[in-house]
Amino acid sequence: MGCRRLGLAGSLAIGAGGWVAGRLPAHDPWGWWTERSPAVTTAGAALAYAGLALLVAAWWGYGRAGAPVRHTLVTLAWWAAPLLLAPPLYSADVYSYVAQGAMVLEGHDVYGEGPSVLDPAGIAGDAAASVGAHWTDTPAPYGPFFLLLARGAVALTGGTLVPAVLVLRLVAVAALLLIVWAVRRLAREYGADEGGALWLAALNPLLLMHVVGGMHNDGLMAGLALAGTVCALRGRWALAGVLIGLATMVKSPAALALLFVGVAVGRAASGSPARRIALGAFGPAAAAAATVLAVSAVSGTGFGWLHTQGVAGAIHTSLSLSSDLGAGLGPLARSVAGVDPGTVLSAVRMLGLGAAAVLVAQLGWRSATGRLDPVLALGLALTALVALSPMVQPWYALWGVPFVAVRARWGWSGRLLAVLSAALVFETHPSGSTPGFGFAVGGAVAVAGLVLLWRDAVADPGRGGGGPGVPRPRHPGTVRDGVRAGAAPG
């Protein structure tokens, strides 16, 4: 109970600080989210950072102590509630969502133009004016399913800024609930600790700040992919494909789930080996493809989203290892060999994506041959894709976290993702900027987390050294059938 109250105090401080230091709009006709004096804004940011420190400490202590499912769910509600009416926190992306929804509503080419085409005095004009400078003329990188949701939010509210944002926060809360539902069911499939899985997957401060607070659609992508995985493990491969298809039409990396869900479906199927392989390889993928075709056609936005997936890569974020390396090698290559630094940056980025593809293929092969659980392999594959992508944001780490949480909360991958979550949450200012001290604080938190993990491993080798064994599934015919006995979860 002490950790719950400490976390609530932290969440209240974050919400209160966010009212003056969050990502405030350029103009709020309701007067809810308006800028204050620099002194008040600075005080609000300090309060939010202090609250974040309390929340992370409470979350870490909560995980070490352990708690039953009901207690964890109540704690999640306590910690999320103070963020529900706060302005957007840690990002301006939700303003882009509203503006893009208005573009779809008004018939603009959302995959050929940016929010700047909207009339400043028209529908969602306040949202368009609040979009980050990098994105005002950038086409939408999101699929048509998510843009239909954004369109619905704008149509429901008339594009008025505060109501439109709050409707999208309801979408984010629904995504959180979907994650909770799916993680609990996946944990039951494996006989894993539901409370522990929820601690890492849903109670995670990184998720609370960037899905509930920042309303990033990554939560919806993860929730739909998780729900599809649940269906796959229960033999409902067509529904699994539909859900993963919808997740892909939120953000395209969700398509990676088809590889590992296909392994699960093929392993659980009956009949000859050829039939099982064919069903796994083509069943969920065909259902996903049909869903993508239908929604893309019905939405009226067409298939332009397939050509805008690289727009975010034009932005250099300091969390991208390949972009950092390419940017560092570029000037050296120019001075030594006269090579254009831009060419070097592009080459290193492509090498990073190539390395990610190799890792994903290896994880897929190990999963297909029964040496690695497909759910854990999917979480590791998504994490590898994020780590080696040309653009990385803190909330991208959430792609793989819930899958790993189910299978390897106390494995090396789960422990490292817990530390990473605690560290990354400090990287971003409540207003969405990335100050240098955020990286310093995040680095210090990462070091402290690794030290604590090392001490736990020394004190309790059984818990710190690799987590639970590989339990037999409770549901017959699920993904674990045929997995090599004794395979470690990571």
Measured between its terminal Cα atoms, the distance across the chain in Å is 31
Q: How far is Cα 473 from Cα 191, in angstroms, rounded to an integer?
A: 7
- pLDDT, residue 462, reads 53
Complete DSSP assignment for 61-105: HHHHH---HHHHHHHHHHHHGGGTTSPP-S-SHHHHHHHHHHHHH
Label residue 274 exposed, middle or buried (CB < 10 Å: 0-12, 13-18, 19+).
Answer: exposed
Q: How far is Cα 186 from Cα 134, in angstroms, rounded to an integer?
A: 39
Q: How far is Cα 181 from Cα 177, in angstroms, rounded to an integer?
A: 6
- pLDDT, residue 155, reads 95
**Of 261, 242, 232, 257, the residue nearest 145 (C-alpha):** 242
Q: How far is Cα 53 from Cα 9, in angstroms, rounded to an integer?
A: 10
Q: How far is Cα 328 from Cα 323, in angstroms, rounded to an integer?
A: 8
Using CA atoms, how far residue 1 sits from 6, 120, 121, 200, in Å, is 9, 49, 50, 18
Q: How far is Cα 98 from Cα 95, in angstroms, rounded to an integer?
A: 5
Find out whether 357 and 322 touch, Cβ atoms under 8 Å: no
Q: How far is Cα 334 from Cα 337, in angstroms, rounded to an integer?
A: 5
**Of 61, 68, 72, the residue nearest 452 (C-alpha):** 61
**3-state secondary structure string, 229-294?**
HHHHHCCCHHHHHHHHHHHHCCCHHHHHHHHHHHHHHHHHCCCCHHHHHHHHHHHHHHHHHHHHHH
- pLDDT, residue 206, reads 97
CB atoms within 10 A of CB 235: 17
Using CA atoms, how far residue 275 sits from 245, 278, 282, 333, 464, in Å, is 23, 5, 10, 52, 41
- Domain residue limits, the chain: 93-159, 317-390
CB atoms within 10 A of CB 251: 23
Please give the structure tokens belonging to residue 428.
């971003």
Across 350-366, b (16+ Cβ under 10 Å) vs e yields eebbeebeebbeebbeb
**What type of residue is 88?**
P
- pLDDT, residue 312, reads 67
- pLDDT, residue 482, reads 32
**Of 290, 176, 298, the residue nearest 227 (C-alpha):** 176
- pLDDT, residue 488, reads 32
CB atoms within 10 A of CB 454: 11
Return per-residue pLDDT of the chain as tens, 490 residues.
789 999 999 999 999 999 999 999 988 888 889 888 899 999 999 999 999 999 999 999 998 888 889 999 999 999 999 999 999 999 999 999 999 999 999 999 999 999 999 988 888 889 999 998 888 988 999 999 999 999 999 999 999 999 999 999 999 999 999 999 999 999 998 888 899 999 999 999 999 999 999 999 999 999 999 999 999 999 899 999 999 999 999 999 999 999 999 998 988 777 777 887 888 888 899 999 999 999 998 888 888 888 877 776 667 778 888 888 988 888 888 787 778 888 888 899 999 999 999 999 999 999 998 899 999 999 999 999 999 999 899 999 999 999 999 988 778 888 999 999 999 999 999 999 989 899 999 999 999 999 988 887 777 665 543 333 333 344 433 433 333 333 333 3
Length reported for the chain: 490
**Of 405, 427, 406, the residue nearest 417 (C-alpha):** 405
Complete DSSP assignment for 170-202: HHHHHHHHHHHHHHHHHHHHHT--HHHHHHHHT
- pLDDT, residue 460, reads 65
- The DSSP output letter for 470 is -
